[in-house]
Structure formats: C-alpha cells, structure tokens
Structure 1
Amino acid sequence: MSSLPVRSGNAPEGATQGNGGRARRRLARVSLGMLGLAAILALWWLGVAMLAGRNALAAQFGPLAALQTFPSLVVDDRLFAHAGASLRRIGVGLACAMAIGVPLGFLIGRVKTLETALSPALQFLRMISPLSWMPIAVMSLGVGDPPVYFLLAFAAVWPIVMSTASGVQHIDARWIQLGESLAATRAEMLWHIYVPGVAAHVLTGVRLAIGVLWIVLVPAEMLGVSSGLGYLILDTRDRLAYSELMAVVLVIGALGFLLDYAARQLYRRFGAQREA
C-alpha cells in the first residue's frame, strides 16, 4: 500500500527560494549603492588632499572636517530648526503646485481644444527658469516666505501638469464608455475611473516635482529669509566657516535622497497597484 504524500505547513520550496533570491538581489543593490557612495567620498577626500598641499584653506572643505563640525552645527546653528523650515517650505510649495497642477492637467488631458490652446503658452512658461522670477517675486510679494512659496510652486507645477494630462489621455476609452453606459454620474466617473487611471501618473509627477523643488529651494531661501538650509549656506559662507558649509551640503544631499526615496516608496505602494 503506497503512502499518501504528507503536506507540510511550511512555505513551498519555490516560494522560499524566490524570497531568498529577492533578498540577495536587494542586498546586492544596497551593497553596490553603498560602494558608489564610498567611491564618491574617496574621490572627495582625494581631491581635497591634493589641493590642501598648495592651499591650507582647502582642508576645511574635506569630508573629515565636515563630519567633525556636525555636533556644533546641530547645537549652535540649530540645524534641525533650519531643516524643518526648509521641509515646511517644500511641503507648502508642493501642495500649491498640486492644487493648481492636478486640476489643470486633468482639464488639458480631457478637453482637446483646451490642450491645443494652452500647450504653446505652458511650454513657453515651463522653459523659463524659476530663479528668473526671483526679482519679480521679491518686488511683488516682499521678503520672507511668500516669494519662496511662489518660486517653489512655479518650479513644481509643470511636472505635475504634464504627468496628469498624460495620465488622463492614456485612460482606456472602454472604461469611460462603460461608465457612461451605466449612467454613472460625473462624481462617480471622476472617483471610480479618472482618479484610479491618473494616480500613477500624478505620483510620477510628484516625484519629479520633489527633485526640482529641492534644487530650487536653496537659492530661493536666499531671498531675505532668516531660516532654512539655503540661509544656513549663506550664513556659514559669511562667517568663513567652510567646514560647516560642507556639512550643510551633506545634509542637503541626505535630505534630498530621503525625500526621493519616500516618493519612490509612495509610487510603489499606490502607483504600481493602480497600474496593475
């Protein structure tokens, strides 16, 4: 009499191997990424070491000097307060850009006549550097946060508009026809067809906008504000504290990396599900 196969409660062997393979690939990607960062730090150290032989001031721009100044930067220069001010401005600028860009992109993608009429003007405005508006922003809005918000929103709105319009145009027409055949209201069409259809594209635009925002933020915070990472760059330069300046540069790079990582995770969590 042949024995029946015994079913184990453990995970299938193929699934276990698959999970192990994914873990190894993830570890390999992380290792390669860390290796790339280490190579950049080594090149930075080597370049400063070569310059320091002819100019003693160059040693203050090295990675070791920057890392040594972090405690004083956190305590004396209130690094966290400045970083918080910059992140707050990023949030306000992105919120304003989304409030304008998502509805405008939806209308452009939905109404062909509107797209034809606005496309040349939007392309023209998109190609103007946001920093070109700095004098006009200061003259119109004064000094402080308002001109910074304007510049950030102006910089971030274009990726969101373009991505949203592209998402609307790529919605499967059969879904729209199905909703119309079922006599769906405008609100139902918007919530059940258009929002899921454009979610991935909007999140792509948000990720692109965050990258642009972080680049524009530092010069924008040189418009008479008294806080923020851009202000801290100016302050350390004026005090000739070059090692602290390089430490702030490291902080800017690290925060920008974390923002982009958060945007990528948000896309993987929601955008990829919507596309699937």
Structure 2
Amino acid sequence: MTLLTKDESLTPRRRPGSTLVPPAIAIATLIALWWLSTTVIPSADSLARQFAPQQVFPAMVQLLDRGVLLPDIGLSLWRLVIGLLIAVVLGLPLGLLIGLSITADRAANPIVAFLRMISPLSWAPIAVMVFGIGNEPVIFLIAIAAIWPIVINTAAGVKAIDSGYLEVARSFHATRIEVLTTVVVPAIRGNVQTGIRVALGIAWVVLVPAEMLGVRSGLGYQILNARDQLAYDQVAAVIVVIGILGFLLDAGARLLLTRRR
C-alpha cells in the first residue's frame, strides 16, 4: 500500500491537455453557433451570410492585399498606447494625492464619482469641437476612459497600506519623498498594475467607436467603411482581428504584470 504525502493527496493532478480541451470546446461551440446563425438559418439572399465564419479568412486576405489592414492595426495600437500613457501619467499622481490626503480625498470623491460614470463616448462632440478631426479626439477619448481605473486602484492601494509602515519610516525621519518612494510606491505596485490592466481593456473597447469620429484610418474606421460598402464579410474580418488583438493585449499585460510582482 502506497502512502501519499499531504501535498500529493491534496494537490489535484492535471491530466494531459486538461488546460487546452475546455477552451477548444468552447471556441468550437461558439464558431458552430456563429455558422448556424449566419449560414443555415438565414435565407439564401440574406446579407447575414456575408457575416459567416467561412467568409472571414478570405475577407482578411483581401484586406491584406489592399494594404489597409496592417497600417490600420498599427495606427490603432499607436493611438491606444498614447492614450493609455496619458492616462497613466495623469492618473497615478492623482490617485496618490487622493490616497495620501484626506482633504484631497473628500474634495475629489464627488468629482471622480461623477466623471467616471459618464460614458467616454459622451465626450465625443466636445473632443471634436476642441481638437478637431484627427488623432487628437481619439486619443482624448481613450485617455478619459482609461484614467479612472488607474486613479481608483492607486488611491485604494495607498489607503490599504498598513499605517505601521508609515510610522516606522517617519520614526527614521524620512522625508515625504523618501516615504513615497520607499514605502508607498512599492506597496501599491499590485494595485497600480491591476488598474493599468483594467484601463487597457476599457481603452481597447473605447478605441473602435472613437475611430468612427471622422478619422480615415484605424480598425474602427475600417468597420465603418466596410459597412458603407455592404461588405459584411470584411466587417466580420475586422471584428475578429479586434477580438484577437484584444485577447493578445490582455494576455500580454497579464503575463508581464504577473512576472513583475
């Protein structure tokens, strides 16, 4: 009779492929439902048949041959990065201020609660009025959507710091800058990383409709352009590209932030 150690008896054994089979089944089921709803159910002359999964790859190849897909991906990612950087540069100091100062917290709480509940796309007319047509309003909408998760998570991280650590730092006559750099910033790293990851997801969702505001490039514009031409196979192709890129961005951010913790 073989006796198992405590760790061996409590730790479930993973079967080969156990991490790959469930996602594969889920993806296959989703594609099957997509195929049924766009190929089997609609009538033969329905435009929904252009949206079928078997039309996606040829449409994607067509967009690549036209030389528009890769440049649009590059422009969309560039706008995303710039908007996210602006949100980080503005959101981190604001979150630190709210977390460290009771007065700032009381003053900013109603304003933050009010502004973060406004849909970022509600600012679109104002963004176009102020910045005109081009990259600037898109970047503005991304930044204003992404800043609030960073502010809220940063402030929450500061408030969660054990006051004992701050008292020890002060007992060694540490300056405010030293307390900030040696105690506060290392303690809130996890909260900041979570806030940035959430902000990345929100920014990616806002990016596509923001690129329908007069710019003539980007993935959002490409969806609008394909729709105007009734090329729904290209609409489906761009949507699939957006989903794949979003998945890769989130997976990359999760992997990068997990390694740095």
1:184 is paired with a residue whose SS is coil
Amino acid at match of 1:183: H
Distance 1:103 1:262 in 2: 25
Deviations 1:125-177 (A, max 9, x none): 11110101111110111000111111110000010000000000011111111
Cα contact 1:51–1:58 (8 A) shared by 2: no
Deviations 1:75-96 (A, max 9, x none): 2142111011001111001000
Indicate whether 1:260 and 2:250 are aligned. Answer: yes
Cα contact 1:159–1:205 (8 A) shared by 2: yes
Distance 2:211 2:129 in 1: 16
Indicate whether 1:234 and 2:203 are aligned. Answer: no
Which of 127, 131, 134 is the matching residue for 1:144?
134
Where do residues 145-164 of structure 1 align in structure 2 (5 Å cutoff)? 145-164=135-154
Indicate whether 1:213 and 2:206 are aligned. Answer: no
Amino acid at match of 1:123: A
Indicate whether 1:92 and 2:89 are aligned. Answer: no
1:81 is paired with a residue whose SS is helix
1:29 is paired with a residue whose SS is coil
2:174 is paired with a residue whose SS is coil
**Structure 2 residue aligned with 1:45:** 35
CA RMSD of aligned residues (A): 2.1
Distance 1:52 1:37 in 2: 22
Distance 1:186 1:158 in 2: 25
Could you list the runs of 5+ residues in structure 2 that have no partner in the other structure? none
TM superposition score normalised by structure 1: 0.87
Distance 1:239 1:177 in 2: 65
- Which moved further from structure 2: 180-189 or 64-73? 180-189
Q: Looking at CA atoms only, which structure, 1 or 2, has the larger radius of gyration?
A: 1
- Which moved further from structure 2: 243-252 or 24-33? 24-33
Where do residues 1-276 of structure 1 align in structure 2 (5 Å cutoff)? 24=14, 27-53=17-43, 55-270=45-260, 273=261
Distance 1:252 1:26 in 2: 31
Deviations 1:173-210 (A, max 9, x none): 11111111122233322222111111100111111111
Report how many residues are paired.
255
